[in-house]
């Protein structure tokens, strides 16, 4: 151990051992310069602009035509189910000063405080029969219903109908409500939501 410590204290010396073999200059291209040349060539040829436009079109198409929800199919027979949104608060809900607003164990039904103001109409815009059904339903209620797609282009339908059309992103609503088939209409029925899946 002592020898290692002494060796570490000894001054280091650089020694020139001379040439051992032939040396050559570096012949690799400068990668940064090479990349800049490639980019400049793609810009000059218009390829970069074409690629940029293609990517913009792909993104626009995906935004206007979301991936259809695979978990929902067209209704082959009509059925009615109910969804009860009642839940039990698991922990005390407090405000920022620590005062308890809602005690743990309290049962809450959101529909007692805020009702469903408009029916929800779920349908697949790729199916002309479902689109026609949804349009008739909305027109029969003077537009006082929310059209929600599970497939097809909400953007195209919005342009045609001149009214907001929604898309159930990531199946959030149909999973929560247990909707398996479309078209389906959701309305409030007392303290529950009634879901009518309709065979056309």
First-to-last CA distance in the chain? Answer: 90
Query: Which pLDDT score, from 0 to 100, does residue 11 have?
Result: 60
Burial call 37-76: b when 16+ CB within 10 Å, e when fewer:
eeeeeeeeeeeeeeeeeeeeeeeeeeeebbeebeebebbe
Q: Per residue in 77-96, pLDDT tens? A: 999 999 999 999 999 898 99
Q: What is the CA radius of gyration of the chain?
A: 33
Give the closest residue to 124 by CA, choosing from 192, 70, 85. 70
Q: What is the pLDDT of residue 56?
A: 75
The contacts of residue 181 (CB under 8 Å, 6+ apart) are 72, 73, 74, 75, 76, 79, 197
What's the confidence (pLDDT) of residue 159?
92
pLDDT for position 22: 80
CB contact at 8 A, 112 and 120:
no
pLDDT at 132: 96
Residue that is written with structure tokens 């065979």 in the block: 199
Could you give the CA distance from residue 126 to residue 152 in angstroms, rounded to a whole number? 5
DSSP 58-80: HHHHHHHSPPPPTT-EE-SS-EE
Average pLDDT for runs of 10 along the chain of length 200: 54 70 79 85 81 75 71 92 93 90 90 92 95 94 90 91 90 92 96 95
Q: Which residues of 121-131 are buried (b: 16+ CB within 10 A; e: fewer)?
A: bbbbbebeebb
pLDDT of residue 194: 96
What CA–CA distance (Å, rounded) separates 102 from 89?
8
pLDDT confidence of residue 149: 95
Q: Would you state the pLDDT for residue 182? A: 95
97: three-class secondary structure by DSSP: coil
pLDDT of residue 9: 56
What pLDDT score was predicted for residue 148?
Answer: 96
**What is the spatial distance between Cα 49 and Cα 43, in angstroms, rounded to a whole number?**
7
Structure tokens given for 125: 């815009």
H/E element, 16? none
Decide: residue 22, CB within 10 A, 0-12 exposed, 13-18 middle, 19+ buried.
exposed
The answer to whether the predicted template modeling score (pTM) of the entire model surpasses 0.75 is: no
């Amino acid at each position: 151990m002592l020898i290692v410590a002494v060796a570490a204290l000894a001054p280091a010396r650089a020694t020139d051992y001379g040439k051992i073999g032939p040396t050559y200059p570096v012949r690799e291209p400068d990668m940064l310069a090479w990349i800049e040349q490639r980019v400049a060539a793609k810009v000059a040829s218009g390829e970069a602009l074409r690629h940029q436009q293609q990517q913009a079109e792909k993104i626009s198409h995906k935004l206007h035509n979301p991936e259809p929800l695979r978990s929902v199919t067209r209704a082959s027979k009509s059925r009615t189910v109910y969804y009860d949104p009642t839940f039990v608060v698991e922990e005390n809900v407090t405000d920022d000063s620590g005062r308890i607003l809602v005690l743990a164990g309290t049962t809450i039904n959101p529909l007692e405080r805020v009702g469903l103001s408009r029916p929800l109409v779920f349908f697949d815009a790729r199916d002309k029969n479902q689109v026609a059904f949804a349009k008739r339903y909305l027109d029969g209620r003077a537009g006082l219903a929310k059209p929600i797609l599970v497939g097809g282009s909400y953007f195209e339908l919005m342009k045609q109908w001149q009214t907001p059309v929604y898309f159930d992103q990531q199946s959030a609503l149909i999973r929560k409500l247990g909707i398996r088939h479309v078209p389906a209409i959701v309305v409030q029925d007392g303290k529950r939501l009634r879901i009518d899946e309709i065979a056309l």
